[in-house]
Amino acid sequence: MIGWLVAVTGCTPLGVWIYEDPRVTVARVRVDADTTNDRPVLVALALSNPNDYTVSTTRVELKLALDDQPIGRLDQDSSFIATPRGTSTMALPLIPDRTATRARLQTFNSGIHRFSIEGRATFTTPVGKRKVRFAQSGELAFGQPPLPPSAPPDPDGSP
Q: What is the CA radius of gyration of the chain?
A: 21
* Annotated domain spans of the chain: 12-131
- Do residues 88 and 24 touch, judged by C-beta distance below 8 A? no
Instruction: Give the Å distances, CA to CA, from 83 to 6, 52, 86, 118, 150.
Output: 34, 9, 5, 23, 47
- CATH architecture under which domain 12-131 falls: Sandwich (2.60)
Q: DSSP 3-state helix, strand, coil percentages of the chain (rounded to 5)?
A: 10, 55, 35
**Phi and psi torsions of 44, nearest 5°:** -105, 125
* Tens digits of residue pLDDT in 90-128: 999 999 999 998 889 999 988 999 999 999 999 999 989
Q: Which amino acid is at 29?
A: V
* Tens digits of residue pLDDT in 2-11: 544 444 444 5
